[in-house]
Copies of this chain bind each other. A is one copy, B any other.
Amino acid sequence: MKKSIILAIGNELVEGIIIDTNSKYISKKLLEIGYKTVAINTLPDDLEILVEEIRDSLKKADLLITTGGLGPTEDDLTREAISKTVGKELIFNEKLYNSILKKVKEFHSEIPKNIEKQAWVINGARIIENPVGTAPGQILQIGEKQIIILPGPPVEMKPIFEESLKFLEKFEKIYQKRIKTLGIPEAILVEKYKDIIYKYKDVNVATLASHISGVELRFTGKKEKVDEIVKLLKEKLSDHIYALDNETIEEVVFKKLEGKSVSFAESCTGGLISAKFVSIPGISKVFKGAIVAYSNKVKEKVLNVNKNTIQKYGAVSKECVMEMAKEVSYFLDTDYAVAVSGIAGPTGGTKEKPVGTVWICAYKRENDYYLVEKFFFRGNREIIREKSALNAFNLLRRILS
């Protein structure tokens, strides 16, 4: 397999001001076309360090990708560093300069100092236009090796990187399928299904366990065999498998809801379920709205939860989430509804209901059907709320099956 190295360049990255999300995106795409990323190096805007790292990386990898350091300021040194390392001069490109100037006039009230820096191209490099910002990408062939130079902002990096892939040699694609599961520990999952999993000797199996989103199984190998094993597991594990590959559970639920409508009643999640759902374009086809009933008064007044229910069982109870789910489905007039009430912490826990106790109810109005479950989630406030949202979608998915 061909080797790639990614250099993520910028003081703001090494100083911990922002997180490099580009490299994850790039290495994932590269793997699909047969390049294995052997290192991702985050580096400061420092000419000496950059030259040394670029030189080292070109020794180790077939493909070098840099992101960042293409801005107009004196700090931005990626072009200079690559030019110096490979011994090819920077050449001012007038046509490029004019197109940059045109964009600048559109975006800004005044022209930034030194903007002409972005029109300098390494001798022999192919220019890849930036459809979003001003700094173009560049691709350089050095003997048998290639260098792809990309800007740092993800919105600019992505389209240029996609375009640059056209100029890369493609290798055998790896066939991979992923299964995402919830509510079943890794050890039990593997133990229970090892007969299936290990029957396919040529299929490589990797597991990835996450505190929040459950255990993911990745199968790599011949398409036919991988598809077989995934099909078998889907049948056996339908309550636990909530999505395949890059799908999110929100998207799975959205598709299953086609032609129907849904609403949410949220307490401890505080709008998180709705916010995740609304991130899907076109969601208005199925989503009508939600009531974030954070205080008990709102639960009683807006959602009509019986005062006695809360007094007798508490707001974090089976009875309360069942009333919340049914009421919101009638109030917002939807076919389905999900309600969540729990203790996200750090305070508010008791011996009977410790922090992490969450009740979730999915409701189908047509046949007055409730699916209600109690969860104990470990983790901090953020993790408990994330897990609650994920499992709320999973309960909804199950009554939609």
Determine whether the beta carbon of A53 is less than 8 Å from that of B24: no
- Say yes or no: is A108 at the interface (Cβ < 8 Å to chain B): yes
- Say yes or no: is A289 at the interface (Cβ < 8 Å to chain B): yes
Determine whether the beta carbon of B12 is less than 8 Å from that of A16: no
Q: A45 to nearest B CB, angstroms?
A: 11
Main secondary structure of the interface of A (DSSP, over half): mixed
Which residues of B sit under 8 angstroms from A108, Cβ to Cβ? 185, 187
Determine whether the beta carbon of A347 is less than 8 Å from that of B281: yes
Which residues of B sit under 8 angstroms from A49, Cβ to Cβ? 38-39
Copies in the complex: 2
Query: Within the assembled complex, what's the spacing in Å between the Cα atoms of A338 and B243?
Result: 36
- Say yes or no: is A271 at the interface (Cβ < 8 Å to chain B): yes
Q: A301 to nearest B CB, angstroms?
A: 8
Which residues of B sit under 8 angstroms from A21, Cβ to Cβ? 19
Interface residues contributed by chain A, number (CB under 8 Å): 83
- Say yes or no: is A31 at the interface (Cβ < 8 Å to chain B): yes
Contact of A208 among B17, B42, B56, B289 (CB under 8 A): B17
Chain A residues 18 to 54 lying within 8 A of chain B, measured CB to CB, are: 18-21, 23-29, 31, 37-44, 46, 49, 53
Which residues of B sit under 8 angstroms from A44, Cβ to Cβ? 37-39
Write the chain B residue with the least CB distance to A39: B43
| Interface-lining segment among A83-91, A225-233, A234-242, A377-385 | A377-385
Q: A41 to nearest B CB, angstroms?
A: 5
Determine whether the beta carbon of A292 is less than 8 Å from that of B270: no
Q: A298 to nearest B CB, angstroms?
A: 4
Query: Within the assembled complex, what's the spacing in Å between the Cα atoms of A380 and B280?
Result: 12
Q: Which of A13, A53, A274, A283 has the most CB of B within 10 A?
A: A274
- Say yes or no: is A147 at the interface (Cβ < 8 Å to chain B): no
Determine whether the beta carbon of B15 is less than 8 Å from that of A27: yes
Determine whether the beta carbon of A41 is less than 8 Å from that of B42: yes
Which residues of B sit under 8 angstroms from A224, Cβ to Cβ? none
Determine whether the beta carbon of A27 is less than 8 Å from that of B16: yes
Determine whether the beta carbon of B14 is less than 8 Å from that of A37: yes
Contact of A112 among B15, B18, B187, B211 (CB under 8 A): B187
- Say yes or no: is A363 at the interface (Cβ < 8 Å to chain B): no
Write the chain B residue with the least CB distance to A17: B208
Which residues of B sit under 8 angstroms from A293, Cβ to Cβ? 289
- Say yes or no: is A375 at the interface (Cβ < 8 Å to chain B): no
A298 in contact with B289 given A16-B23, A266-B271 (CB within 8 Å):
yes
- Say yes or no: is A346 at the interface (Cβ < 8 Å to chain B): yes
- Say yes or no: is A314 at the interface (Cβ < 8 Å to chain B): no
- Say yes or no: is A143 at the interface (Cβ < 8 Å to chain B): no
Which residues of B sit under 8 angstroms from A41, Cβ to Cβ? 39-42
Q: A17-B208, A289-B293 are in contact. List 10 more A-B contacts (CB 8 A).
A: A14-B40, A16-B27, A23-B42, A42-B42, A108-B187, A268-B278, A270-B279, A270-B283, A274-B275, A278-B344
**Could you name 24 residue pairs across A and B whose Cβ atoms are closer than 8 Å?**
A15-B28, A17-B28, A18-B24, A20-B20, A23-B42, A38-B46, A38-B49, A39-B41, A39-B44, A109-B187, A270-B283, A271-B271, A271-B272, A271-B273, A271-B278, A272-B275, A274-B294, A278-B292, A278-B385, A279-B385, A283-B294, A289-B294, A291-B292, A291-B302
